[in-house]
């Protein structure tokens, strides 16, 4: 559906996306740091120019004597069929904890769409959320299920976007509610995917 | 009006603006649907100032299966399922809402300057000492409410807290002490009572008045019937005259007195309020220091606030989740699980599951079109403007959500209503659309058909190879373009009109000129299409057919059903 604008010659030698065993598609032009701290749920797309800052995580506590080294802490966990569009930065937020600034692991749910040129520092984004282009999700904001963030919105720090609401503006205000049919429908050609709906078809179309 | 194209908006037929156009000859048309044209006066005009209140995306519309009609916010009623705070997401019982108002009583406050949520922040002792060197309360931790968006904090109104909990109580206490203190300061003048106090006094006064004049609390204090309503009902059953009627005969109602004096909440204007002080402040701090009306309306405490420096944090307003009922038959058409944050529905009758869905796309797209909402790259091509007088062909697809084959009749005015008249022709306005199947059937048929009927891929191939395979086939009048199991596509020809009015020899009056002037969004080409769907359905055993008695309702019998509605198809903006 959406062909990359890169010249064809480049694509013929190498595909733009690396596909993992679980069907995640990660652009070769994405910037991923702290790979070991990032979890992708499968069938998730990370597009070109996306920065995933998995390196910003809570330092693991030193292993006690005789114990095994603790496994890596998760900095960013992204669910299934979620799409992170081009040039978006995903950066776990910080919080003062026991007198020290530590990073809070960020959780993003399933079927979340994040538009291009956005900056994501929220504590969590639940499933079936639509984030428009050029948005800023400030540190520690919480975006609940089936909500919609209009393009060019700045969600202020610590704000909660309740389930099923539409927010917009700088700073974001609750402007209304999504329809009762949010995420429903689609399924036909030209409208395989709808906002808040199942994004598997969109993920499949990304090549 | 929409900003991305193509778009489809559906109009609920409940408004006079969107009522059905009369078919040419009602009897014949219903037996054998033929194409019918609508003239411009009858057509729904998407440019009408009222149209925006009638057009909805399909996912916002519901359907009443008792009345067999589309339902929109105008023709459903809402009832509150629960109240909740959008910040802490706690449910607030309706008794608390009635008693304490529609604001969160936990520690949820919004910035009075920018509406962002305020956070309880501990301020360090050093800062505290610098800011307020004379403060003797050293050693204790100090907290403020702070906005992390615009940096406003309660320090600006000189409010700070001793503990991070029970913010509401602390805030109320500080407000009280401050307002009563100021009253003493200006007691030489007429003490102007604050808005809050005035409101409280007025409420008390009128409550007393109502109790005195309307109904005594309990006429029989010793009786087991505690509520007057209960008592009235008992009296109604056993006595001849109702409790109220008895009372009316006994005493003539006294006219209600109005409030007088400060104690009862009345405030009067006095010319010698300290206007000069306000003027001086305005002179020294300027316009930027004054509050906007939005800030004043953020909370009742800020209603009379003139300067931003005096704004008080506003408690977060509660929100509701509502169930929807059909206005005419009172059946519930949408109801969520009554739990904060749950998006699960107990009942949900979506219009998209009952009425055919329309979508439109260019026949020969110059750029591959995707759903405009799924903007994946920042360098997406700008949406192309439509050239006036250039014929363009579009594919209009009608998808059937029903399990029966549906007969569709489309009608559109030959020229679009509004200031810019574009010509529209639907090449095949009458056809059938196959039934929708189970999801599994659909998946199977999609996998077998994808190779042959994947128009998108064909178009993509054509644009890659440069061949004009897709343009080999010419759309023909009266023929459908494409058909899948539950969708049918037809071709629509559109000739965008010119934004400039046609030249005329007769000089125009000023009024005519002003009339012809284009306003915002007049360049948007939107095509109103009236869709009529007819189908036959079998009455299932045990199902009652309400409102359709004339058809009969025996199990196994066929019943004719019909829906009709206007759809506004957003095509694009016309180049000037
Ligand atoms: Zn309606
Ligand atoms: Zn709250
Ligand atoms: Zn603020
Ligand atoms: Zn009804």
Interval B431-435 mean pLDDT? 91
**Dist. CA B525–CA B47, nearest whole Å:** 9
The answer to whether the CB atoms of A162 and B454 lie below 8 A apart is no
- From the CA of A95, how many Å to the nearest CA of chain B? 12
pLDDT digits (tens, 9 = 90+) for B298-332: 888 888 888 888 899 999 999 999 999 999 999 99
More confident residue, A46 or B457: A46
Token output for B296: 């004043």
Contacts with B376 from chain A: Cβ below 8 Å: 2, 47, 83, 85-86, 115-116, 206
pLDDT digits (tens, 9 = 90+) for A172-196: 999 999 999 999 876 555 566 888 8
CB proximity A203 to B under 8 Å = no
The answer to whether the CB atoms of B59 and A194 lie below 8 A apart is yes
Interface test mutation site (partner B, options A11, A153, A181, A205, max chain B beta carbons within 10 A): A181
pLDDT at B466: 46
pLDDT digits (tens, 9 = 90+) for A36-90: 999 999 999 999 999 999 999 887 666 666 666 666 688 999 999 999 999 999 9
CB proximity B147 to A under 8 Å = yes
Is it the case that residue A199 has pLDDT exceeding 60? yes
- From the CA of B212, how many Å to the nearest CA of chain A? 43
Is it the case that residue B572 has pLDDT exceeding 80? yes
Domain A17-59+70-178+192-205 -> CATH class: mainly beta
Beta strands A17-19 and A25-27 are: antiparallel
Going by the DSSP 8-state scheme, the letter that residue B239 receives in this structure is S
**Dist. CA B32–CA B154, nearest whole Å:** 73
Q: In chain B, positions 324-363, which contact chain A (CB-CB < 8 Å)?
A: 324, 334, 341-343, 345, 348, 350-352, 357, 359, 361
Q: What is the largest CA-CA distance in chain A?
A: 60
**Dist. CA B445–CA B454, nearest whole Å:** 12
Concatenated DSSP letters of B464-513: HH---STTTSPP-TT--SEEETTEEEEEEEEEPPPSSPPP-SSPPPHHHH
Is it the case that residue B559 has pLDDT exceeding 70? yes
**Dist. CA B54–CA B8, nearest whole Å:** 13
Which residue in chain A is spatially nearest to B457 when comparing CA positions? A1
- From the CA of B352, how many Å to the nearest CA of chain A? 7
Lowest mean pLDDT among A22-26, A128-132, B6-10, B379-383: B379-383
Cβ atoms of residues B489 and B483 within 8 Å:
yes
Concatenated DSSP letters of B198-236: HHHHHHHHHHHHHHHHT--S-S-TTSS--SHHHHHHHHH
ipTM score assigned to the predicted complex: 0.87
pLDDT at B208: 82
User: How far apart are the CA of B148 and the centre of ligand 3, in A?
Assistant: 7
The answer to whether the CB atoms of B84 and A157 lie below 8 A apart is no
Which residue in chain A is spatially nearest to B59 when comparing CA positions? A181
- This prediction has a pTM of 0.79
Q: pLDDT above 90 covers what percent of chain A?
A: 68
The answer to whether the CB atoms of B86 and A165 lie below 8 A apart is yes
Contacts with B455 from chain A: Cβ below 8 Å: 189
pLDDT digits (tens, 9 = 90+) for A82-131: 999 999 999 999 988 777 889 999 999 999 999 999 999 999 999 999 99
Domain ranges for chain A, please list them: 17-59+70-178+192-205
pLDDT at B484: 85
Is it the case that residue B79 has pLDDT exceeding 70? yes
Which residue in chain A is spatially nearest to B352 when comparing CA positions? A185
Lowest mean pLDDT among B109-113, B274-278, B313-317, B408-412: B274-278
pLDDT band at B52 (very low <50, low <70, confident <90, very high): confident
Is it the case that residue B459 has pLDDT exceeding 60? no
Three-state DSSP at A148 gives strand
B246, containing H or E segment? helix B243-250
């Amino acid at each position: 559906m959406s062909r990359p604008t890169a010249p064809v010659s480049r694509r013929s030698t190498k595909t733009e996306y690396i596909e993992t065993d679980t069907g995640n598609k990660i652009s070769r032009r994405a910037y991923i740091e702290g790979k070991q701290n990032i979890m992708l749920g499968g069938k998730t797309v990370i597009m070109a120019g996306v920065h995933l800052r998995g390196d910003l995580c809570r330092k693991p506590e030193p292993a006690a004597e005789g114990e095994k080294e603790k496994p890596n802490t998760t900095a960013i966990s992204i669910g299934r069929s979620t799409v992170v569009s081009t040039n978006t930065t995903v950066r776990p937020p910080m919080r003062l904890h026991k007198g020290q600034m530590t990073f809070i692991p960020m959780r993003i749910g399933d079927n979340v769409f994040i538009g291009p040129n956005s900056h994501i520092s929220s504590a969590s984004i639940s499933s079936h959320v639509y984030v428009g282009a050029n948005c800023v999700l400030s540190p520690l904001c919480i975006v609940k299920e089936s909500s919609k963030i209009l393009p060019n919105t700045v969600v202020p720090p610590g704000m909660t976007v309740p389930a099923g609401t539409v927010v917009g503006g700088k700073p974001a205000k609750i402007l209304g509610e999504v329809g009762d049919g949010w995420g429903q429908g689609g399924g036909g050609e030209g409208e395989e995917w709808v906002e808040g709906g199942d994004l598997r078809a969109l993920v499949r179309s990304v090549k | 009006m929409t900003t991305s194209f193509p778009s489809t908006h559906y109009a609920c037929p409940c408004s006079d603006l969107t009522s059905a156009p009369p078919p040419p000859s009602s009897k014949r048309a219903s037996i054998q649907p033929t194409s019918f044209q609508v003239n411009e006066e009858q057509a729904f005009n998407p440019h009408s100032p009222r149209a925006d209140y009638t057009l909805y995306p399909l996912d916002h519309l519901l359907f009443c299966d008792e009345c067999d009609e589309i339902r929109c916010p105008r023709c459903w009623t809402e009832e509150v399922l629960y109240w909740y705070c959008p910040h802490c997401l706690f449910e607030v019982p309706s008794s608390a809402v009635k008693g304490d108002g529609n604001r969160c009583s936990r520690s949820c406050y919004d910035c009075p300057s920018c509406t962002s949520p305020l956070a309880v922040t501990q301020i360090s002792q050093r800062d505290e000492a610098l800011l307020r060197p004379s403060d003797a309360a050293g050693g204790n931790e100090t907290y403020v409410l702070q906005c992390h968006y615009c940096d406003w904090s309660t320090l600006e109104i000189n409010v700070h807290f001793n503990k991070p909990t029970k913010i509401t109580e602390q805030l109320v206490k500080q407000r009280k002490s401050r307002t009563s203190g100021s009253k003493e300061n200006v007691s030489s003048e007429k003490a102007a009572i604050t808005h809050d106090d005035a409101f409280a006094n007025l409420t008390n006064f009128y409550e007393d008045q109502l109790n005195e004049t309307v109904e005594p609390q309990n006429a029989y204090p010793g009786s087991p019937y505690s509520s007057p309503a209960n008592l009235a009902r008992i009296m109604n059953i056993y006595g001849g005259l109702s409790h109220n009627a008895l009372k009316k005969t006994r005493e003539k109602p006294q006219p209600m007195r109005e409030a007088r004096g400060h104690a009862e909440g009345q405030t009067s204007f006095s010319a010698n309020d300290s206007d000069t002080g306000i003027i001086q402040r305005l002179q020294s701090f300027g316009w930027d220091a004054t509050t906007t009306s939005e800030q004043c309306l953020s909370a009742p405490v800020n209603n009379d606030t003139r300067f931003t420096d005096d704004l008080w944090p506003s408690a977060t307003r509660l929100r509701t989740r509502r169930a929807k009922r059909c206005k005419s038959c009172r059946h519930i058409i949408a109801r969520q699980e009554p739990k904060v944050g749950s998006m699960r529905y107990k009942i949900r009758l979506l219009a998209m599951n009952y009425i055919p869905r329309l979508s439109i796309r260019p026949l020969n797209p110059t750029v591959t079109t995707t759903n405009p909402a799924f903007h994946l790259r920042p360098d997406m091509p700008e949406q192309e403007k439509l050239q006036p007088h250039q014929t363009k062909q579009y594919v209009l697809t009608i998808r059937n959500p029903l399990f029966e084959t549906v007969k569709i009749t489309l009608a559109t005015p030959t020229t679009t209503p509004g200031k810019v008249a574009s010509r529209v022709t639907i090449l095949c306005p009458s056809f059938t659309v196959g039934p929708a199947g189970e999801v599994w059937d659909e998946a199977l048929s999609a996998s077998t058909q994808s190779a042959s009927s994947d128009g998108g891929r064909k178009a993509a191939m054509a644009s890659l190879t440069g061949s004009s395979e897709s343009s080999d086939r010419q759309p023909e009048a009266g023929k459908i373009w494409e058909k899948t199991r539950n969708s049918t596509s037809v071709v629509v020809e559109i000739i965008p009109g010119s934004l400039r009015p046609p030249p005329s020899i007769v000089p125009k009056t000023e009024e005519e000129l002003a009339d012809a002037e284009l306003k915002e969004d007049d360049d948007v080409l939107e095509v109103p299409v009236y869709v009529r769907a007819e189908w036959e359905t079998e009455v299932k055993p045990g199902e009652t057919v309400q409102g359709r008695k004339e058809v009969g309702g025996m199990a196994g019998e066929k019943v004719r059903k019909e829906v009709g509605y206007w759809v506004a198809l957003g095509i694009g903006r016309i180049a000037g």
